[in-house]
Amino acid sequence: MSGYDIRVSLGSINWLIDVPSYGSLYPALHSLREEGLVNVSIVPNDGKPSRKVYSITAAGSRALEAWSHRPAEADISQKAFVMRLLLANSFSSEQLSEYLKQRYALVTARCSELERSVKRDTIEVGSEGDRLALDYGLAIANAEIAWLKATLARFPGAIQEGKQSIKSSAHQSVELKEDYG
């Protein structure tokens, strides 16, 4: 794709991932080319500036694979998690499963921590706004847990006993409480 194309296609899901501006995207592509991780082919474009269509090199594929398999930092953000998911092509079923389990452990930890701090008042949960925000956070976290459970069921990793086939994971209410990770 061209830099422009990349920006436009990512722009349609800007709320799911961090989309770079042209001011950082174009220089990034230049340096990737200098490092030999991508090739450029100039495609003349009547009137408009000629398109520079980038394609990944063998070295680039290796680097990308290394990047996506690098150990997940403990406190990964939602957007970074989705970005990694987008690159899940080079994941084997086991690796994907492992990755999702790590996320599962993280989110359940956050969730139970939040529930604890709502019951006690470790944090000042005095105001209406605080309660609203925490309730929202809990709802989102629980939805993510449900999705992770459903998706883990669809991509059973190395060893897994209770296989269930599930078609669509969105909209789905699943009982929680199991322990991955």
Partner DNA sequence: TACCGCATGTAAACGGTTACATGATTAC
Partner DNA sequence: GTAATCATGTAACCGTTTACATGCGGTA
Footprint of DNA (CB under 7 A)? 2-5, 8, 18-24, 26-27, 29-30, 45-53
Q: What, of DNA, a copy of itself, none, does residue 9 touch, CB below 5 to 8 Å by kind?
A: a copy of itself
Alpha helix ranges (H) inside 35-154: 58-69, 78-86, 93-119, 128-154
Which of a copy of itself, DNA, none does 30 bind, CB closer than 5 to 8 A by kind? DNA
Do the beta carbons of residue 145 and residue 104 sit within 8 Å? Answer: yes
Alpha-carbon span 93 to 99, nearest angstrom: 10
Contact partner at residue 29 from a copy of itself, DNA, none, CB < 5 to 8 Å by partner kind: DNA
Tell me the β-bridge partners of 174. none
Q: In this structure, are residues 63 and 114 in contact, taking their beta carbons and an 8 Å threshold?
A: no
Residue 166, interface with a copy of itself (CB under 8 A)? no
Picked from a copy of itself, DNA, none, the partner binding residue 127 (CB below 5 to 8 A depending on kind) is a copy of itself
- 126 vs 75: CA distance, rounded Å: 27
Scored b (16 or more CB within 10 A) or e, 81-99 reads bebbbeeeeebeeeebbbb
Closest approach, Cβ 85 to DNA, in A, equals 19
- Residues in contact with a copy of itself, shown as a per-residue x/- string from 62 to 101 under the rule CB under 8 A: -------------x-xx---x--xxxxx-x----------
Partner from DNA, a copy of itself, none binding residue 52, C-beta < 5-8 Å depending on class: DNA
Contact status, residue 174 vs residue 150, Cβ threshold 8 Å: yes
Phi, psi of 2 (to 5 degrees): -90, 165
Residue 128 touching a copy of itself (CB under 8 A): yes
Q: How far is the CB of 73 from DNA (least distance, A)?
A: 11
Q: Environment class of residue 71 by beta-carbon count within 10 Å: exposed (0-12), middle (13-18) or buried (19+)?
A: exposed
> Of the two residues 50 and 78, which places its CB atom closer to DNA in the complex?
50
Applying CB under 8 A, the residues found at the interface with a copy of itself are 9, 12-17, 75, 77-78, 82, 85-89, 91, 110, 113-114, 117, 122-124, 127-130, 132-140, 142-144, 146-147, 151, 169-173
